[in-house]
Structure formats: C-alpha cells, structure tokens
Amino acid sequence: QVQLVESGGGLVQAGGSLRLSCAASGNIFSLGTMGWWRQAPGKQRTLVASITSGGTTNYADSVKGRFTISRDNAKNTVYLQMNSLKPEETAVYYCKARQVLTDYWGQGTQVTVSS
C-alpha cells in the first residue's frame, strides 16, 4: 500500500500563487508517474499535470505556462507550483501515484481562488 498526503491548499486571490506538495509513504517501490488532478463541484476530475519518474512532464493546456510540476524522488514527493491562479480553478486538488499497475490517490486539498 502507498499513502499519499497532500498539503499546501488554501484561499488565494485571483492572480496569486500556491504550491502544493504530495508526499508518498508506505510500501514504496517502482513508484512511477505521479500527478495532480482537480475536481470542481459538479464536474469530473481532470488531469492538471503529471511527471514520470524520469522527469518527463505533461500539462493540461489550460495551465501551461502558469503551473509547474516537479518531483523529488529521494523524498518521494511531488510538487505543483501554481501561478496566476483563476477563480475557475477553484477545486479539490488530488495527488495520484502509479505503482506498477495500481493507482493510489490522496485525500485531496482544497484550493479556493477568490475574484
């Protein structure tokens, strides 16, 4: 089992920044791609950004140029730096990690962007 704990969410004004962290613990081996997803009320959960164990990144078009995902493999932690936040990005942000063929999810952290 892998446990994921997110932190760093909160309330920020439009145009502001937040940095999310997700720390993995437990039976960690061959931890593969890690990523951030978000889910707004009444909407589907969607991918924000992901990063492979080798550092290859992928971003949703809507966040390119504003968000940066990074990873510290020694600490089993993935980060999401979010700049120029918009009110429509208010959502619960979830961390996901893949281990072999199993996906693990964190409990989520609320990000609220006020206008």
- pLDDT tens digit string along 71-88? 999 999 999 999 999 999
Separation between Cα atoms, residue 64 and residue 56, nearest integer Å: 14
Q: In this predicted structure, what is the pLDDT of residue 76? A: 92
Regions of the chain with pLDDT less than 50 = none
Grouping H, G, I as helix, E, B as strand and the rest as coil, residue 27 is coil
Handedness of CA 73, 54, 57, 33 (dihedral sign): negative
Q: In this predicted structure, what is the pLDDT of residue 86? A: 98
Give me the phi and psi of 86, to 5 degrees please. -115, 150
